[in-house]
Amino acid sequence: MGGFLESSAAPYVGMVLATTAQVGLIIISKRAMATGMTNYTFVAYSNALAALILLPLSLLVHRSSNRPPLSFLLVSGFFSLGVLGCLAQLTGYTGINYTSAEFASAMLNLIPGFTFILAVIFRMEKVACRSSSFLAKATGTVVSIAGAFVVTLYKGPQIMTRQASSKLHYEHMEIPQLSWILGGLFLTVDCVVSSGFIIVQASILKNYPAELIIVFFYCFFAAILSTVVSLIVDRDLSAWALQPNIRLIAVLYSVSVTTWCLHRRGPLFVAMFHPLSIVIAAVLGTIFLGDVLYLGSLVGSIIIVMGFYSVMWGKAKEVEVIGNDLTRSCESTSEKAPLLSITDEQDRA
């Protein structure tokens, strides 16, 4: 029984916990910004702490003897990751501040679709209209974007709420439609930039397969950039005051569990749990923030999830086809070798 839990059930439990931790980060950051902490300082502190932790860890894991040499081109790539990551985090937390946790969790499921679009634009994805995997990814992308329009532009009647007298709940109830749309636009920018981040990171990993060092430089540059932006935009130094910061613990916990599950099951397995965050966010947001669940958010989230799984199915089908082609190639090579040997022997005779 213990072996079954270790080999089969544990990764699933781990991903549920990681998803819950990520949704908890959205909720905690929203509460922190409601008390006066800006998204600029939050992003700066988070990346600075992550960089401090990753520096010794990356040097320990990737020793100088087996570490690829750094070049100006690579450092420029790391800086590009920092710019994209900083922009994604700033726009993402701004969007969260304008909307709800459930809304933000639903919108983040657009990332695979936008990644597919950018891959087609930059010719990293072949346009094969007769391929079932390509059609599934293209259809899923269109469906996901349609769901995002529903979530953003249509609220509809309330279907779930928690009666509370807190000021935070009252303020959320009074969020106008314009703020809802503005938050959706910020979250859409977050998804597009995050998709670009994924593509740039994948290209860098091909030339520099030292993941921890790449993540360290990304956090390092993101911390510097967000600090500069914060000092320019928000000159109130009181926003930098640190209070008990449980959200950073949630970040580290989520990253560690997600990394472990990536190692055990692969990135596709991790991605399949993303829609679960919508359900968790709806429940936790209602309990801890007094968020209101609207019919438009529910319908739009369902449409986004349908598109998300269509994109993921297409990706899984593509991986399966590539694997089958490699298997056939190996089998054909092994079958041809004896025939050539026989022919050579006959020629000699």
Per-residue pLDDT, 176? 65
- Average pLDDT of span 232-244: 68
Cα distance between residue 284 and residue 279, in whole Å: 9
What backbone phi and psi angles, to 5 degrees, belong to 100?
A: -120, 170
* Domain residue ranges of the chain, discontinuous segments joined by +: 22-241+268-312
Cα distance between residue 93 and residue 194, in whole Å: 13
Kindly indicate the confidence band of residue 217, based on its pLDDT and cuts at 50, 70 and 90. Answer: very high
- Average pLDDT of span 135-159: 86
For 67, counting Cβ atoms within 10 Å of its Cβ (0-12 exposed, 13-18 middle, 19+ buried), the class is: middle
Query: For residues 269 and 11, is the Cβ–Cβ distance under 8 A?
Result: yes
Kindly indicate the confidence band of residue 139, based on its pLDDT and cuts at 50, 70 and 90. Answer: very high
List the single range of 28-32, 58-62, 327-331 with lowest mean pLDDT: 327-331
Per-residue pLDDT, 220? 93
Q: Looking at the predicted structure, is the pLDDT value of residue 193 above 70?
A: yes
Better-scored residue on pLDDT, 97 or 280: 97
Cα distance between residue 285 and residue 321, in whole Å: 41
Query: For residues 55 and 216, is the Cβ–Cβ distance under 8 A?
Result: yes
- According to DSSP, the residues that pair with 294 across neighbouring strands are 158
Q: Looking at the predicted structure, is the pLDDT value of residue 261 above 60?
A: no
Cα distance between residue 236 and residue 272, in whole Å: 41
Element (H, E) at 197: helix 177-207
Residue 349, helix vs strand vs coil: coil
Per-residue pLDDT, 189? 93
Instruction: Pick the closest to residue 304 from 152, 98, 92, 159 (CA basis).
Output: 152
Q: Which of 142-146, 231-235, 285-289 tops mean pLDDT? A: 142-146
Per-residue pLDDT, 77? 94
Cα distance between residue 283 and residue 91, in whole Å: 24
Better-scored residue on pLDDT, 187 or 39: 187
Q: Looking at the predicted structure, is the pLDDT value of residue 254 above 80?
A: no
Express each pLDDT in 274-301 by its tens digit: 566 666 666 666 666 667 778 888 888 8
Identify the DSSP state of 9.
I
Residue 131, helix vs strand vs coil: coil
Q: Which two tokens stand for residue 172?
A: 């959320």
Mean pLDDT for the chain overall:
74
Instruction: Pick the closest to residue 188 from 296, 291, 304 (CA basis).
Output: 304
List the single range of 133-142, 256-265, 314-323 with lowest mean pLDDT: 256-265
The reply to whether the predicted model has a pTM over 0.75 is no
Cα distance between residue 15 and residue 21, in whole Å: 10
Cα distance between residue 283 and residue 160, in whole Å: 9
Query: For residues 110 and 148, is the Cβ–Cβ distance under 8 A?
Result: yes
Identify the DSSP state of 113.
H
Kindly indicate the confidence band of residue 201, based on its pLDDT and cuts at 50, 70 and 90. Answer: confident
